[in-house]
Amino acid sequence: MTAPAKPYPTEVEASVEQLVYVREDEYTVARMSADGLAAFVASGRALAGVQPGETLRLAGEWDEHPRHGSRLVVERCERVVPSTVRAITLYLGSGLIRGIGPRLAYAIVSHFGERTLTVIDAEPERLREVINIGAVRQEQIVQAWAEQKEIAALMVVLQGFGISPLLAAKIYQVYGNDSRDVLTGDPYRLIGQVRGIAFHTADRIALRSGVPENSPQRIKAAIVDRLETAAARDGHCFLPLPALLVATATLVEQEEELIRSAVDGLVAERRIVVEASSAGPGQVAYSKEQHGREVTLTAHLDRLWRARSTLPMRAFAEDEGLHEDQRVAVNLALTSTVCVLTGGPGCGKSHTVKVIAATVRAMGGTVTLTAPTGKAAKRLSELTGLPAMTVHRMLAQQPEREEGTLFQQSPAQADLIVVDEASMLDLQLATRLTAAIPAGSHLLLVGDSDQLPSIGPGSVLADLLRVEEVPRIRLTHIFRQAQDSGIVQAAHRIRTGELPALPGRGGFWFEELDDPDQVAERVVHLATEAIPRKQNIGRDQVQVLSPMRKGATGTAELGRRLQERLNPAREGAAEHWSGPSVFRVGDRVMPIRNNYDKGVFNGQTATVTALSPQERLMEIRTDDGVSVEYAFGELDELTHAYAISVHRSQGSEYPFVVAPIVAEAGGVMLRRRLLYTLVTRAKSWVVLVGQREALEQAVHQLGYRRNTGLALRLALSLGGAPATARKTAGLGSEPVGG
């Protein structure tokens, strides 16, 4: 084809051949083709949500791009039904219509020509005139065609509200053919049910649909949103009522009197709970779910704590390798039905657990070792020499209740249940865990209380350590083999608010750079070239962590750069864009939410093993060896694992860690717990690259305490027992770090 004669047409109808780039703000670059024009590139935010195969009517201005050549900077984009044989073939073969690949698309269009889409729409039975299309395949094509038409219509509705069309497929996935009715009739229903739709999005739709600004429906939705946002973003289980009133009033720009009235309405509807504050005068507000979990977890911990132990008591064999506080820990675990073992790196937590487990087994008892993530469970097994499983897997093997009892073969029925990396337990998982354990079994929670709290809401380990009645011991002796580790030395200095020795030694190293872009490039070079070459290791032995998600040194941008180095696009290889992320076979990925139907959980790591545009499916294989399929509409449940947040690295240990330390975004994430957690993720070396002042800020800046009521509830519950029944270790309470 020839290049278009100047002046280029400012309006053009063209088909999307390939997505080249999608930015987080939805700025999109796509390769286009149009009859009579040479292939060209179109770019702009107006292209948000377009997919390969679609035909678009574009309006904009042309320029010459140094890399892409002739480029149309798009100002307006409208989806149209493809009308030419070539456009229809591209549309059907792109994977937009599930069940049709390039070969079948060619066969269908060869048979029906420009009437193809009319036939599919009005005479679908005629599809069986095409070879390889039977009744089942015909039904699949018709259903997929109807879905695509509905999603396209939803996109138009969303664009009319000024909302990203990327949400159309997600809305359809939840509501199906009722999507448009929900969207225009009760948009607040979308909050919490459709991933990516929070109050601001639903509110824009509602207000443009005529919902009054002072509508009780609107204000109630805002109140619930403030509680759910506090839980998801900050890990809070509740908000002080005055803070909730102010936050909601600011969000909806209404008087607090109206907000208070809406709160009363939600309480009456039992959608939220308001009760006396645990921190002093005043009231606090919970969502129904968080309040229920906190109360239930308290009840189960109380039940386990009060129960008579079923463990046969015998003296345990002395181990000459045990330090005195380790011996105390062993006795504590054998005599307390609920207790906590904490300590930093190099203090022998894993060896202590090994001795405790061996002692229980020598008594004739049974032991189940668990951890919140697969990597943490695998590491626990390697360190103790005993089998371990994830908490989720243990709970999945929990048999059904029968007349109030449980079958004895469940792993949760063991005499001793050990949960390692217990700082990762959020309120929901801790509630499910304790509910599965029968009275009389021993629950030993093991973790480093100076690490970050769980990703999900709650602060279970820290709350238990605030309750005097809960037995606990902290291991503080650093063993000689760990004393020589620069990582261990740096971690313990950070824990006490001291700057590690710089630039470092023996496993810890700090490289000073100021410019965030240079920091990002250096991190990528270290991870993909310098460290693998110098250490003679594979690139998969190096993990990049980051304190933040956005910015030049955030996980999103670093992950993009690393993917282009480690798994770039290949000619002829399938790939699929989901929002600003492109997925390819070989990519390292990680679920960012629990999916019990698929058996995958937040924080697992996996590899993309297959990608089928025709079936609109992607297959991943977890590091536990389990293969799982994701529909393209579900890919927002996955994130790339080339660069991950420090929070998501909890429970994992990597041979080599590289991380940026810069004060981007005001350094709001640079806190002591985060830096301590980051450094302790490395086994051999951790290399920090960035600004010295940012490192100092992270060392000295303490974190906030999450709003939780578990400690007070548990203290009141356990404190109700006779004084002689209180099981305290007599070792003091655990300090709260930064």
Residue 132 — very low, low, confident or very high, per pLDDT cuts 50/70/90?
Answer: confident
The three-state DSSP-derived secondary structure of 225-267 is HHHHHHHHHHCCCEEEHHHHHHHHHHHHCCCHHHHHHHHHHHH
Please state which of the ranges 1-10, 86-95, 197-206, 576-585 shows the lowest mean pLDDT: 1-10
Residue 601 — very low, low, confident or very high, per pLDDT cuts 50/70/90?
Answer: confident
> What confidence score (pLDDT) does residue 166 get?
81
- List, in sequence order, every residue forming a beta bridge with 654; answer none if it has no partner: 682
**CA distance linking residue 502 with residue 587, whole number of Å:** 35
High-pLDDT (> 90) share of the chain, %: 62
> What confidence score (pLDDT) does residue 730 get?
29
Amino acid at position 666, single letter = G
Residue 731 pLDDT more than 50? no
Structure tokens at 543: 């993990």
> What confidence score (pLDDT) does residue 666 get?
58
Picking from 2, 8, 47, the residue whose alpha carbon sits closest to that of residue 26 is: 47
Picking from 431, 464, 445, 382, the residue whose alpha carbon sits closest to that of residue 712 is: 464
> What confidence score (pLDDT) does residue 642 get?
97
> What confidence score (pLDDT) does residue 602 get?
77
Tell how strand 55-65 and strand 238-240 pair up: unpaired
Whether the CB-CB separation of 479 and 347 falls below 8 Å is answered with yes
> What confidence score (pLDDT) does residue 482 get?
61
Lookup result for tokens 């282009």: 564
**CA distance linking residue 412 with residue 435, whole number of Å:** 10
- 346 marked ligand binding residue: yes
**CA distance linking residue 642 with residue 17, whole number of Å:** 27
Amino acid at position 669, single letter = M
Picking from 148, 165, 180, 154, the residue whose alpha carbon sits closest to that of residue 50 is: 165
Q: Which of 189-198, 330-339, 657-666, 722-731 has the highest mean pLDDT?
A: 330-339
pLDDT in tens, 175-186: 998 998 898 888
Cis peptide before 7 (omega within 30 of 0): yes
> What confidence score (pLDDT) does residue 269 get?
96
First to last CA, the chain: 64
> What confidence score (pLDDT) does residue 722 get?
39
Structure tokens at 669: 């994430």
Residue 381 pLDDT more than 70? yes
DSSP string, 525-542: HIIIIIHHHHHT--GGGE
**CA distance linking residue 80 with residue 174, whole number of Å:** 25
Cis peptide before 503 (omega within 30 of 0): yes
> What confidence score (pLDDT) does residue 453 get?
92
Query: Which positions ≥6 away from 275 have C-beta within 8 Å?
Result: 283, 284, 286, 291
* Over residues 121-140, mean pLDDT: 90
> C-alpha distances in angstroms, 153 versus 10, 156, 183, 187?
25, 5, 12, 16
Residue 471 — very low, low, confident or very high, per pLDDT cuts 50/70/90?
Answer: very high
pLDDT in tens, 313-324: 665 655 567 888
Query: Which positions ≥6 away from 285 have C-beta within 8 Å?
Result: 223, 227, 238, 239, 240, 241, 244, 263, 272, 273, 274
**CA distance linking residue 547 with residue 562, whole number of Å:** 17
Residue 735 — very low, low, confident or very high, per pLDDT cuts 50/70/90?
Answer: very low
> What confidence score (pLDDT) does residue 500 get?
94
> What confidence score (pLDDT) does residue 724 get?
32
Residue 469 — very low, low, confident or very high, per pLDDT cuts 50/70/90?
Answer: very high
> What confidence score (pLDDT) does residue 101 get?
85
**CA distance linking residue 299 with residue 462, whole number of Å:** 18
> What confidence score (pLDDT) does residue 413 get?
86
**Which one has a higher pLDDT value, 69 or 335?**
335
Please state which of the ranges 316-325, 355-364, 376-385, 608-617 shows the lowest mean pLDDT: 316-325
Task: Give the torsion sign (CA, 48, 52, 58, 64).
Answer: positive
**CA distance linking residue 551 with residue 560, whole number of Å:** 12
Please state which of the ranges 54-68, 425-439, 500-514 shows the lowest mean pLDDT: 54-68
Structure tokens at 133: 């299309």
pLDDT in tens, 615-655: 889 999 998 788 999 998 889 889 999 999 999 998 889 99
Residue 402 pLDDT more than 60? no
Residue 665 pLDDT more than 70? no
- 83 marked ligand binding residue: no
- 95 marked ligand binding residue: no
pLDDT in tens, 33-42: 988 788 899 9
Establish how many alpha carbons lie within 13 A of residue 592's alpha carbon, considering only the half-sphere containing its beta carbon. Answer: 14
pLDDT in tens, 285-305: 999 999 999 999 999 999 999
pTM: 0.87
Residue 399 — very low, low, confident or very high, per pLDDT cuts 50/70/90?
Answer: low
Please state which of the ranges 318-322, 376-380, 670-674, 702-706 shows the lowest mean pLDDT: 318-322
Residue 408 pLDDT more than 80? no
Burial class (CB in 10 A: 0-12, 13-18, 19+), 327: middle
> What confidence score (pLDDT) does residue 1 get?
41
Task: Give the torsion sign (CA, 716, 718, 722, 728).
Answer: negative
Residue 49 pLDDT more than 70? yes
**CA distance linking residue 255 with residue 712, whole number of Å:** 33
pLDDT in tens, 423-454: 999 999 999 999 999 999 999 999 998 999 99
Quote the mean pLDDT of the chain. 88
Residue 359 pLDDT more than 70? yes
Query: Which positions ≥6 away from 199 have C-beta within 8 Å?
Result: 191, 221, 222, 225, 229, 251
pLDDT in tens, 537-560: 999 999 999 999 889 999 999 999
Structure tokens at 529: 């070239």
**CA distance linking residue 603 with residue 629, whole number of Å:** 17
Residue 406 — very low, low, confident or very high, per pLDDT cuts 50/70/90?
Answer: very low
> What confidence score (pLDDT) does residue 720 get?
61
Residue 66 pLDDT more than 90? no
**CA distance linking residue 171 with residue 169, whole number of Å:** 5
